[in-house]
């Protein structure tokens, strides 16, 4: 698989204005999706920690609306390509939505579920007891899915089209 990476260090950070910004661009050819450019910015200043990441397919894409049923351990090794414009969620449980903190990434489904777990783990500490209790129950369910003992549906919507479920294993270093 084609994989080129370019790194530029010492750029000016838009947040702390120090020359501590590292820019990265990576070009990947993703099966069933095409040539994709991944961009990220990260500020090396520990007091700042500014971070931004997104990705874009080389060809123009149509809006995407898809869902994936996770019902075996094999599905955990499939992939998601997600742009910062995408909404990806487990309905009535947890979601990643577009916004200032949204980022684009390529990940295994297992990696995506672990991101959801992190969100739910934070919610278990919520001051609202109902929210915390719900999050605990959702976490239990998510763990059963990760152990291959329960099925779950993930939905994906992206008006920019720069997102997809890839229903096979890929040879990608994350």
> Which spans of this chain sit near Zn ion (rule: CB under 5 A)?
13, 15-16, 43, 45, 48, 50
* Distance of closest approach, residue 12 Cβ to Zn ion, in angstroms: 9
How far is it, in rounded angstroms, from Cα 155 to Cα 151? Answer: 14
Considering the complex, what minimum distance in angstroms separates the CB of residue 44 from Zn ion?
8
Q: What is the 3-state secondary structure (H, E, C) of the chain?
A: CCEEEEEEEEECCCCCCCCCEEEEEEEEEECCCEEEEEEEEEECCCCCCCEEEEEEECCCCCCEEEEEEECCHHHHHCEEEECCCCEEEECCCEEECCCCCCCCEEEEHHHHHHHHHHHHHHHCCCCCHHHHHHHHHHHHHHHHHHCCCCCEEEEEEECCCCCEEECCCCCCCC
User: Do 24 and 104 touch, CB atoms closer than 8 A?
Assistant: no
CB neighbour list of residue 130: distance below 8 Å, 6 or more residues apart: none
Rounded to a whole number of angstroms, the minimum distance from the CB of residue 106 to Zn ion is 25
User: Closest approach of Cβ 16 to Zn ion, in Å?
Assistant: 3
Cβ closest to Zn ion, residue 45 vs residue 124: 45
Comparison of 16 and 172: residue with beta carbon closer to Zn ion: 16
Nearer to Zn ion, 27 or 48 (CB): 48
Residue with Cβ nearer Zn ion (48 or 119) = 48
- The least distance separating Zn ion from the CB of residue 103, rounded to whole angstroms, comes to 16
Give the nearer residue to Zn ion in terms of CB position, either 40 or 108: 40
């Amino acid at each position: 698989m084609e994989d080129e990476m370019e790194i530029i260090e010492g750029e000016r950070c838009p947040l702390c204005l120090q020359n501590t910004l590292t820019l990265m661009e990576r070009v990947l050819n993703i099966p069933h999706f095409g040539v994709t450019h991944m961009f990220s910015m990260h500020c090396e200043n520990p007091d700042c920690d500014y971070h931004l990441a997104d990705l874009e397919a080389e060809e123009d894409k149509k809006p995407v609306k898809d869902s994936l049923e996770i019902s075996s351990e094999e599905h955990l090794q499939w992939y998601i390509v997600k742009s910062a414009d995408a909404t990806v969620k487990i309905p009535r449980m947890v979601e990643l939505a577009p916004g200032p903190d949204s980022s684009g990434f390529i990940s295994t489904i297992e990696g995506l579920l672990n991101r959801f777990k992190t969100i739910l783990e934070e919610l278990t500490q919520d001051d609202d007891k109902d929210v915390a209790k719900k999050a605990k129950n959702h976490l239990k369910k998510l763990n059963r899915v990760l152990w291959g003992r329960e099925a779950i549906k993930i939905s994906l919507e992206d008006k920019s089209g720069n997102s997809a479920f890839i229903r096979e294993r890929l040879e990608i270093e994350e």
